Structure 1
Amino acid sequence: MTQPLLYGINTTLDGCVHHEAGLPPDAQSMAFWTDELRRSDSLLYGRVTYEMMQVAWRRPASGEWPEWMDADDVPFAAVIDAMPKHVASTTLDAVDWNAELLGADLADAVRRLKERPGRGISLGGVQLPAALATAGLIDEYTFVVHPVVGGRGPRLLEGIRDQLRLELVARREFRSGASVQRYRPVL
């Protein structure tokens, strides 16, 4: 049995996935995303997301979390900082932050990751998930849909050419008005 590849992302009503387009995170959403990470044993990012997350969530050499983090951010930061990471990139020569670079054949590299024992691989980002969805490698999609129209920026799974049929398997509302929608591919 293979471990599932679990894609999760914040999106606006118009499908904008730019990390600054939705509502600011609150205690409820940070707790949700922390729990989502805990469903997996490792993370899979492309270069852009890896670098963005590393800047925001890597524990500083001092061991002290930055002053901008509040009590709601620290559990998420601690989980993401400690998790093993896999990075899909053709431009990076090396990675650190408990990470490894994947081979040049992305689909094959992800299939091999999925064959390893584990609870799951948490997938984040914009371009990489579209490529993996096209290859039929994502087992679950979790979208936190914020009640705003972003109006600009990259769109959810932009670039997919063929229809992707999904079945809603769970739904949850946040006090902020955002809703969590969890889907699995219809085979």
Structure 2
Amino acid sequence: MRKVIAAINMTLDGVFDHTAGIPDTEIHHHYTELLNQSGVILYGSTTYQLMEFWKTFLEKPSAEKAMNEFAAAIDKIPKIVFSNSLKNLDWNTATLANIDLKETVLALKKNTGKDILIGSRSLIMQLTELNLIDEYQICVYPVIQGNGSTLFENLNQSVILKLIKTKIFTGGSIILYYQPAVE
């Protein structure tokens, strides 16, 4: 059965903000590899629209090879977008979800193939509430943002996790890998 992996970035004080981090070549390599090893990524409309930024690197490559490689990986992976506001998607590897989140994830898990990534804060919170996340990969940037939405803000239940490994980057960021603890 495929794993559902919540892969997300946050600051040291728990703020989820795509602009608050300081991704470097090493982090771009890590996420490029994660995307290449995964079968699909699920987004909400806000994060999907933010990720469309990477399409510009396909049209006009950067001097940073790692950013171009990440752009190619994010372009290639199939994307399922959950949105009530978006009616059309410009990315040819993206589709709008036609069933609800729970049903989609349960159906994807039953299929064979590579893991399922969750790349949006809102979807991570919903799937946490539904106990459908098999692994959390939380990249913590060495930044104190001071304000903003926290990653698990307004979660309705307590979730106990077990740390299974860490990955430390030379720039000071760290990825914490957790699995839900068996009760």
Q: TM-score, normalised by structure 2?
A: 0.91
1:143 to 118, 134, 138: 138
Tell me the equivalent position of 1:182: 177
2:120 to 125, 129, 146: 125
- Give CA-to-partner distance per residue, 1:118-164, whole Å, 9 cap, x none: 11111101111101111111111001111221111111122211111
- 8 A contact 1:10–1:144 mirrored in 2: yes
Query: How far apart, CA to CA, are the structure 1 residues paired with 2:49 and 2:89?
Result: 10
Instruction: Give me the identity figure in percent.
Output: 36
- Give CA-to-partner distance per residue, 1:62-102, whole Å, 9 cap, x none: x63344x6212011110110111111112222324111111
Query: How far apart, CA to CA, are the structure 2 residues paired with 1:81 and 1:10?
Result: 19
Query: How far apart, CA to CA, are the structure 1 residues paired with 2:106 and 2:145?
Result: 34
Tell me the equivalent position of 2:150: 155
- Normalized per residue, the structure richer in helix is 2
Tell me the equivalent position of 1:14: 13
- 8 A contact 1:65–1:74 mirrored in 2: no
- 8 A contact 2:36–2:77 mirrored in 1: no
Structure 2 counterparts to residues 31-180 of structure 1, below 5 A: 31-54=29-52, 56-58=53-55, 64-67=59-62, 70-97=64-91, 98-180=93-175
Give the length in aligned residue pairs: 181
Q: TM-score, normalised by structure 1?
A: 0.90
Query: How far apart, CA to CA, are the structure 2 residues paired with 1:6 and 1:121?
Result: 6
Query: Which aligned segments of 4 or more residues in structure 1 are displaced greater than 4 angstroms?
Result: none
In angstroms, what is the RMSD of aligned CA positions? 1.6
Query: How far apart, CA to CA, are the structure 2 residues paired with 1:104 and 1:117?
Result: 19
Query: How far apart, CA to CA, are the structure 1 residues paired with 2:112 and 2:90?
Result: 23
Structure 1, unmatched stretches of 5+, are none
